[in-house]
């Protein structure tokens, strides 16, 4: 067979619909949802992160395994009393010295086991090394469970204070009683309840701890 007589190869045209179907299909790109900006971290020394509330000592008894501790049931307006342990036996000698008193409770501390008794907060006290310790007491008409305010400072308290970066430890040095009267103050701003200013009995110009 001569070259001129070689068989012709027929090339069929592909159906355009089939050709289109065989092309790779691009998936639609997903739109990225905008990420909301993170709220700036609150400073550790923001005093409004503390939850200081009004309570009343309902029952007090000696800790069975610690000579310096009282165990306390504190009515803070909840269904169940708040259990707190305080190292006040040196200053308040009997349960009767404490029961019935109004108190201020730092209520959002992390629960702390104290010799087998879990303490859910801390009672605020005017505290000295040489003149004793006195409870900070709000007026008797203050509402149990109400949050103490500090001037016009506003902010939601932490649910539980961070134990490593603890706002209380960052600001506690600014809590003192007044120089002229033993009222509770933060940076010279009186603490306030609905019934008035909490105060110590006699201790002026001393730290509150």
pLDDT at site 172? 98
pLDDT tens digits, one per residue of 10-52: 445 555 555 555 556 566 666 777 766 666 789 999 999 999 9
Residue 197 DSSP one-character state = -
Q: Is 153 helix (H, G, I), strand (E, B) or coil?
A: coil
> Measured between alpha carbons, how far is residue 117 from residues 26, 35, 62, 84 in Å?
66, 45, 11, 8
Q: Is 172 helix (H, G, I), strand (E, B) or coil?
A: helix
Taking residues 140-155, report their average pLDDT.
98
**Domains parsed from the chain with CATH numbers:** 47-192 (2.40.50.140)
User: Residues of the chain with pLDDT > 90: what percent?
Assistant: 80
pLDDT tens digits, one per residue of 7-16: 555 445 555 5
Stretch among 38-42, 140-144, 149-153 having the lowest mean pLDDT: 38-42
> Measured between alpha carbons, how far is residue 38 from residues 35, 42, 43, 175 in Å?
9, 12, 15, 31
Residues in the chain, total: 209
pLDDT tens digits, one per residue of 82-116: 999 999 999 999 999 999 999 999 999 999 999 99
Q: How sure is the predictor about 149, in pLDDT bands with cuts at 50, 70 and 90?
A: very high
CA–CA dist 36, 15 (Å, integer): 50
CA–CA dist 60, 72 (Å, integer): 5
């Amino acid at each position: 067979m001569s070259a001129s007589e070689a068989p012709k190869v027929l090339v069929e045209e592909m159906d355009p619909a089939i050709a289109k179907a065989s092309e790779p299909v691009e998936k639609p790109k997903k739109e990225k949802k905008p990420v909301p900006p993170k709220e700036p971290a609150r400073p550790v020394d923001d005093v409004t992160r503390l939850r200081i509330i009004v309570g009343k000592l309902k029952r007090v008894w000696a800790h069975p395994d610690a000579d310096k501790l009282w165990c306390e049931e504190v009515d803070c307006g909840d269904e169940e009393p708040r259990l707190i342990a305080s190292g006040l036996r040196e200053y308040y000698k009997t349960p009767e010295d404490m029961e019935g008193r109004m108190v201020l409770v730092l209520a959002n501390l992390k629960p702390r086991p104290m010799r087998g008794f879990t303490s859910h907060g801390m009672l605020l006290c005017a505290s000295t090394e040489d003149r004793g310790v006195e409870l900070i007491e709000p007026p008797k008409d203050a509402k149990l469970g109400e949050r103490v305010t500090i001037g016009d400072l506003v902010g939601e308290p932490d649910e539980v204070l961070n134990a490593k970066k603890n706002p209380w430890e960052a600001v506690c040095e600014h809590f003192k009683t007044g120089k002229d009267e033993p009222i509770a103050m933060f940076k010279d701003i009186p603490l306030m309840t609905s019934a008035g200013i909490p105060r110590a009995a006699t201790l002026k110009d001393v730290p509150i701890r």
